[in-house]
Amino acid sequence: MITPLLSSCRQNCNFWQLSPAASVVERSVITWLGGLFGYDERAGGILTGGGSIATLNALTTALHARRPGFREQGLQTPAPRLVVYTSAEAHRCVDKAAALLGIGTDNVRHIPTDGRYRMRVEALEAAIRADRAAGREPFCVVATPGTVTSGSIDPIGDIADVCEREELWLHLDGAYGALFVLSERKREEFAACARADSIALDPHKLLFTPLEAGCLLVRDRGLLAKAYAFSASYLTVEEDPLMLDYMDYGPQLSRSFKALKVWSALRTFGVDAFRQAVDHTLDLARYMADLIEATPWLELMAPVSLTAVCFRIKGASEADHTAVLAELIGEGTALLGPAHLDGRRGMRACVTNYRTTRGDIELIVGRLSAIARRRGAVARTSDEFL
């Protein structure tokens, strides 16, 4: 419904005179989203194509903040090598951003995780010390509130302490997890998000919003403008204290009216509907975990922190898992993904759709069990269960 509407209104959200209403709507969406994380009026941000772009834009902003001459000189200076820290469970968009920005993936440290797949803070500190001792320049930590595989939540408060002490930019890759802040149950775990310099999140994952709608929030919006504002004589821009020119907040000039999708979902359904939907997905993930724990030949691979559920057929080989997953997908029941954790192979379900039901979850676990047993993946490895 909203996508054809968007296409027909064709607002170009670059400078406010071309799209004054859109500028106001985008600002109110950003203010609302920032408020969820405790950001104040100094904060700002921009709607993006997704979480990967939001993280790329965040690291760009961090780079300009760290190296004031970056706009003119790029990284073509004799200054020390910059280093980015993230966890071994981070999304590859962090490496991609480092590669695109000229930092280089050799300068991204993937800090080991603890038994719950969260970044180990003492290992982070040790890596920073080692890099400083070797003459490199630590500059940014990307923590993840909701990792892509298991949904683990890095210890954001402890990482923020390190970043404060070490004067490092803290970015949160919340593309999957940040919007679980909407759940009362997660509020405490997400309280330290307000201390991050920037947060990437994805309304197109949890806010009833069709693709594409990602978002970057930055605690000090002046830093966004420092990275992205360029003056151009061919743009007739008039200043207005109430209006923002979104071309100054990101790399795009022409851009679509993504904020309308988030704003209209919020206006139509209200924030309580979002909260209920998020809680519903958390409940379903817990339900799935309970079913798996009650099935003798299945086992969870990781604690269920949000709505990603990683599990495996006990003792089954990698080939068994691949075959069972392919059959489940092939018969059209559900599209689960592979999970790799600690060198072990399994499967991953992730509940993000508010229309998913307990019946869907039962169907998936039931079909997986049936397929695994028919293929012998269970019988070969766990005779005692049959």
- Scan residues 100-129 and list those touching ligand PLP (CB under 6 A): none
Name the segment binding ligand PLP (CB under 6 A); options: 47-55, 72-80, 120-128, 254-262. Answer: 47-55
Over the window 173 to 192, marking each residue x when it contacts ligand PLP by CB under 6 A and - when it does not, the resulting string is x-xx----------------
Q: Does 154 bind ligand PLP (CB under 6 A)?
A: no
- Scan residues 156-175 and list those touching ligand PLP (CB under 6 A): 173, 175
From the CB of 144, what's the least distance to ligand PLP, in Å? 6
Query: Between 138 and 174, whose beta carbon lies closer to ligand PLP?
Result: 174
Q: Cβ contacts of residue 253 below 8 Å, gap of 6+? A: 14, 247
Give the CA angle between residues 292, 323, 349 to the nearest 5°. Answer: 40
Distance from C-alpha of 377 to C-alpha of 38, rounded to nearest angstrom: 49
Cα distance from N-terminal residue to C-terminal residue, the chain: 50
Q: Does 145 bind ligand PLP (CB under 6 A)?
A: no
Which of 50, 138, 250, 346 is close enough to bind ligand PLP by CB under 6 A? 50
How many residues in the shown chain lie near ligand PLP by CB under 6 A? 13
- What residue type is assigned to position 378 of the chain? V
Name the segment binding ligand PLP (CB under 6 A); options: 118-126, 142-150, 263-271, 284-292. Answer: 142-150
With contact defined as beta carbons under 8 Å apart, do 52 and 93 qualify? yes
Query: Between 19 and 150, whose beta carbon lies closer to ligand PLP?
Result: 150
Q: Strand 298-300 and strand 137-143: pairing?
A: unpaired
Tokens of 222: 């002046």
Tokens of 104: 């280089």
Tokens of 113: 């995780």
**Residue 373 burial (CB count, 10 A):** 17
Half-sphere exposure of 285 (CA within 13 A, CB side): 26
Q: Does 93 bind ligand PLP (CB under 6 A)?
A: yes
Query: Between 108 and 291, whose beta carbon lies closer to ligand PLP?
Result: 108
Query: Between 57 and 144, whose beta carbon lies closer to ligand PLP?
Result: 144
- What residue type is assigned to position 83 of the chain? V
Which of 52, 57, 107, 256 is close enough to bind ligand PLP by CB under 6 A? 52
With contact defined as beta carbons under 8 Å apart, do 334 and 323 qualify? no
Interface residues toward ligand PLP, by CB under 6 A: 50-52, 91, 93, 144, 147-148, 173, 175-176, 202, 214
